[in-house]
Amino acid sequence: MKIHEYQAKQVLAKYGVPVPRGQVAFTVDEAVKAAQTLGGSVWVVKAQIHAGGRGKGGGVKVSKGLDAVRKNAEAILGMTLVTHQTGPQGRVVKKVLVEEGMDIRKELYMSMLVDRDSQSVVVLASTEGGMEIEVVAAKTPEKILRETVDPTMGLLPFQAQRLAYGLGLDKINPKLMRPAAEMIASLYKAFQGEDCSLVEINPLVITGDDRILALDAKVAFDDNAGFRHKQQAELRDLDEEEPLEIEATNADLNYIKLDGNIGCMVNGAGLAMGTMDIIKQVGGEPANFLDIGGNADQARVEKAFKIITADGNVRCIMINIFGGIVRCDVVAEGVVAAFKNVGVSVPVVVRLEGTNAEKAHKIIASSGLGKKLTMAKGLKDAAQKSVAAAAG
């Protein structure tokens, strides 16, 4: 679950992470009033959407004077902001964050995320703040510092100190070392305490008066831990999320919308990833990731059909089910019934392997749906037939 920058900073501040003073505004007048409340003569007006690259798209404006705050808020609020993360369709800006201006001396980068290989939290840091970390990794990987946190020990003081030294803070001002280490420790407490999947500060800045602040913040929560954090639901902005993904979540289906034209219905996350890979391998583009789970009964299949076909880009649906605990014949009966009940108008290719697969083949063959519902003889055959059907 993603949240807005202003919300992320509120969360981090609870754990002692220093952040700039700021207020969220939903109208131009509120933005001007926020600047007056904050005081000073320079403010930054920042679009609040769930995407990075806002500055490059014109969504972050330094404002010198209240007239500039009003002008920039008018320009940003209501705009369709297009960044490398929104795609060409962009996102409509409905709120802005007005923050106090900063005398920035140095920009740094810091993030925390879960490393699946080491099964640990990893802290990444770099002197190349303000840049996309992917670019830094590609061009100057030696500038990325990395600390792996032992889950049984937590982030140790020497690790925070080592990161501070690696960022060269002792050379900027030795007095920064202690607050920097404390800030890194606070970030880790926030990551653990809120069950985050990502915390990213880019840039982390050193100011002219030698303060260290999280000038920008991105926080994502692990949805699997949501039951421990009921208050996080209040931070969710449904306007920023894909409607079909919300509908799928409410139906207990794991669905992510993509840009292709072949809808995927699969049981198991790993099999779903493999299905998307082979579709691309044979020249197609998956329209979604959809894991219907181990209980692939008629009700779940029917709901999955409704969600997939609600995407107007879908030209074919590929169903890939491995019958382990679930029986293939039960799935086949569910597919036939759901196909008829939902009124699916695009061709469907089915690959069923495992328990009672032969019975499932007979059910599909005798369904009376003809070429609308095609049985495949393997994963590659299913992908090839799906790509051909989508093209046709």
Do residues 187 and 126 both lie within one domain?
yes
Rounded to an integer, what distance in angstroms lies between the CA atom of residue 93 and that of residue 76?
A: 7
Of 58-72, 185-199, 287-301, give the lowest mean pLDDT range: 287-301
Do residues 234 and 351 both lie within one domain?
no
Of 54-63, 74-83, 205-214, 299-308, give the lowest mean pLDDT range: 299-308
Domain count, the chain: 3
Residue 134's pLDDT band (cuts 50, 70, 90):
confident
Question: Which of these three, 67, 101, 135, is where a domain ends?
Answer: 101
Please write the tens of the pLDDT for every residue from 25-69. 999 999 999 999 999 999 999 999 988 889 888 999 999 999 999
Do residues 134 and 229 both lie within one domain?
yes
Predicted confidence (pLDDT) at residue 328 exceeds the cutoff of 90: no
Do residues 73 and 149 both lie within one domain?
no
Question: Which of these three, 71, 101, 131, is where a domain ends?
Answer: 101
- What is the pLDDT of the chain when averaged over all its residues? 91
Do residues 328 and 282 both lie within one domain?
yes
Give the pairing type, strands 316-323 and 262-266: parallel
Please write the tens of the pLDDT for every residue from 285-294. 999 999 887 6
Residue 121's pLDDT band (cuts 50, 70, 90):
very high
Write down the catalytic residue from 99, 200, 255, 333. 200
What is the token pair recorded at 16? Answer: 């002692």
Residue 67: which CATH number?
Answer: 3.30.1490.20
Rounded to an integer, what distance in angstroms lies between the CA atom of residue 193 and that of residue 17?
A: 13
What's at 201, amino acid-wise? I
Do residues 124 and 161 both lie within one domain?
yes
pLDDT of residue 55: 87
Do residues 306 and 226 both lie within one domain?
no
- Distance linking the first and last C-alpha atoms of the chain: 37
pLDDT of residue 387: 95
Question: Which of these three, 47, 69, 101, is where a domain ends?
Answer: 101
Asked whether the bond before 141 is cis by omega within 30 degrees of 0, the reply is no
Do residues 53 and 7 both lie within one domain?
no
Do residues 301 and 384 both lie within one domain?
yes
Bigger pLDDT: 392 vs 8: 8
Write down the catalytic residue from 6, 109, 188, 255. 109
The range of the structural domain enclosing residue 113 comes to 1-20+103-241
Active site annotation includes 242: no
Name the nearest CA neighbour of 165 among 117, 129, 127, 130.
Answer: 127
Predicted confidence (pLDDT) at residue 169 exceeds the cutoff of 70: yes
Residue 185's pLDDT band (cuts 50, 70, 90):
very high
Do residues 210 and 349 both lie within one domain?
no
Do residues 114 and 231 both lie within one domain?
yes
Residue 178: which CATH number?
Answer: 3.30.470.20
Active site annotation includes 109: yes
Tally Cβ neighbours within 10 Å of residue 181: 21
Please write the tens of the pLDDT for every residue from 227-252. 899 888 888 887 777 788 888 888 88
Please write the tens of the pLDDT for every residue from 7-17. 999 999 999 99
Do residues 323 and 367 both lie within one domain?
yes
Of 26-40, 61-75, 77-91, 212-226, give the lowest mean pLDDT range: 77-91
